[in-house]
Amino acid sequence: MEILFKLFASFFKIGAFSFGGGYAMLPLIKKEIIEVHGWLTNAEFIDILAISEMTPGPIAINSATFLGYRVSGVVGSILATAAVVLPSFIVMSIITHFLSKFKDSQFTDWFFIGIRPIVLGLIASAAISVALDAFIDLKSVILGIVLFYIVTFKKLNPIYAIILAGLLGIILY
């Protein structure tokens, strides 16, 4: 029962203190799951992250669901998913109530302009953190760069890139 409370509290905290979407939440998820509680290793976290990215839906919710299941089964997945969504639901309910009063305010515009660099920094931090754990040798670095180039500039469908990466991973490793 204690682990369920810790799981809920951890994901509620992640949902409450992350702003900017799922990728911005990844550094907090990693810190809570690996460093604070030791529920997963870096390699397991990267695997769950890969599954979360391939699965339809927001990455933060998918990650919470998979991590909750890994830590405490079906009940854990339900609690972690609800906990990561609950803070946003509460905040959006409050904002919706007051939005009509402040929607044209210059302060509101300034707030959202000011928060953009923070969100960008959180997303960059997540990308660097994942890259440091995912790139294990020169082959993986080259594979990542080539696939990034093909998806970004040659417009390869990301689904095909995931399949190609999986096949190359099987062949190379």
154 is written with which tokens?
Answer: 């040659």
Range from 28-37, 73-82, 110-119, 128-137 carrying the lowest mean pLDDT: 128-137
Per-residue pLDDT at 103 exceeds 80: no
Per-residue pLDDT at 20 exceeds 70: no
- Confirm if 39 and 71 have CB atoms less than 8 A apart: yes
Same domain, 141 and 68: no
Same domain, 127 and 147: no
Domain span including residue 150: 135-173
Same domain, 98 and 82: yes
Same domain, 164 and 116: no
pLDDT band at 19 (very low <50, low <70, confident <90, very high): low
Residue 33 parent element (H or E): none
Per-residue pLDDT at 5 exceeds 70: yes
pLDDT band at 58 (very low <50, low <70, confident <90, very high): confident
pLDDT band at 21 (very low <50, low <70, confident <90, very high): low
Q: Which of 62, 53, 71, 57 is nearest to 8 (CA)?
A: 71
Structurally, the chain folds into a number of domains equal to 2
Same domain, 96 and 154: no
Q: How far apart (Å, rounded) are the C-alpha atoms in residues 49 and 71?
A: 15
Per-residue pLDDT at 128 exceeds 90: no
Q: In this structure, what is the dihedral angle of CA atoms 155, 157, 163, 164, given to the nearest 10 degrees?
A: -20
Using the 8-state DSSP alphabet, how is residue 31 labeled?
A: I
Same domain, 46 and 106: yes
Same domain, 83 and 165: no
Same domain, 23 and 7: yes
Mean pLDDT of 37-42: 88
Note the pLDDT of residue 8. 93
